[in-house]
Amino acid sequence: MVPGKAFFTTRPTIWSLLVPVIAILAGILFATSSTIAQGRSLRSDAAGLPDIIREQTKDNQRMTGELEELSAEVDELTRQTAPGNADLDDLKSQADAISTAAGRTAVQGPGVEVVMDDSDLSVSELPRGFDADDIIVHQQDLQAVVNAFWVGGAEAMMIQDQRVVSTSAVRCVGNTLILQGRVYSPPYRIRAIGDPAKLRAILDQSPEVSIYKEYVDAVGLGYEVKSSDNYEFPAFSGSITPDFATVRE
């Protein structure tokens, strides 16, 4: 130190250090705001957001109205092209009228049952002039009873445990019955719902059934007829669509 002269030193203060830092941060903030705004006012954009929402809401309401109008048009066109209630009721009445004849409904009522069975005789016990085929129930024997029942006005019919209709095929192989894909052995039971007196009368009048009853007397084929006040038949479950058909003149 020089005598007689004062010597001063300058120390950097805290503010002199912070000023450059604040300036740098401010620059970064301005640059970021400029980038986000892309030359627009951020405040003005925020202020316009409710307007955008209101406009979008109006668009949604408009499109909803258009959708409702189009839906109403579709409903009207569907109503115009669909059959009216009267037509539907008429079709339903026609379906109900033929459902019983087609066997598609369960039926109950009085009727008649016929039970047919093979003879108990052995071949060695057969009378002269008869053979083994004469002591078993054949397809034509079953068909004779079935046809007689239909002719006698049967409303519904069952063979064994199956509901049958007019197109059901009765087929026998040897002394077994094949009915709608199932095999049965005798005795065979045929039941029909209808007027018991009329059904019994038509059995007595049938030439084919009369021939069968001759063999009942000759070789002991089984034949039993009985009536009932109430039979309950389930609906027919097979197909009623014919494979072949002929136009009736």
- Helix, strand or coil, per DSSP, at residue 120: coil
If phi over 0 gives left and psi between -120 and 50 gives alpha, with beta otherwise, what is residue 100?
Answer: alpha
Q: pLDDT digits over 118-127, tens only? A: 999 998 898 9
* Band of pLDDT at residue 168, cut at 50, 70 and 90: confident
Strands 162-164 and 222-233: unpaired
Average pLDDT of the residues of the chain? 77
**pLDDT of 19 higher than 70:** no
Q: Is the separation of the CB atoms in 160 and 179 below 8 Å?
A: yes
Output the pLDDT for position 63: 73
Share of residues in the chain with pLDDT > 70 (%): 62
Mean of the pLDDT values across residues 25-49? 52
Of 36-45, 155-164, 234-243, least confident by mean pLDDT is 36-45
Supply angle C-alpha 126, 131, 137, rounded to 5: 95
Confidence of residue 87 (pLDDT cuts 50, 70, 90): low
Q: Please give the share of the chain, as a percent, with pLDDT higher than 90.
A: 40
Token duo for residue 54: 């209101």
pLDDT at 211: 95
Strand-by-strand arrangement of the 182-184 sheet? 171-173, 176-179, 182-184
Determine the pLDDT at residue 97: 60
Task: Report yes or no: 107 and 155 within 8 Å, Cβ to Cβ.
Answer: yes
Contact 157, 190 (CB under 8 A): yes
pTM of the entire predicted model: 0.59
Work out the average pLDDT over 9-36: 54
Instruction: Supply the pLDDT for residue 94.
Output: 62
Q: Dump pLDDT digits (tens) for 100-112.
A: 666 778 889 999 9
pLDDT of residue 139: 92
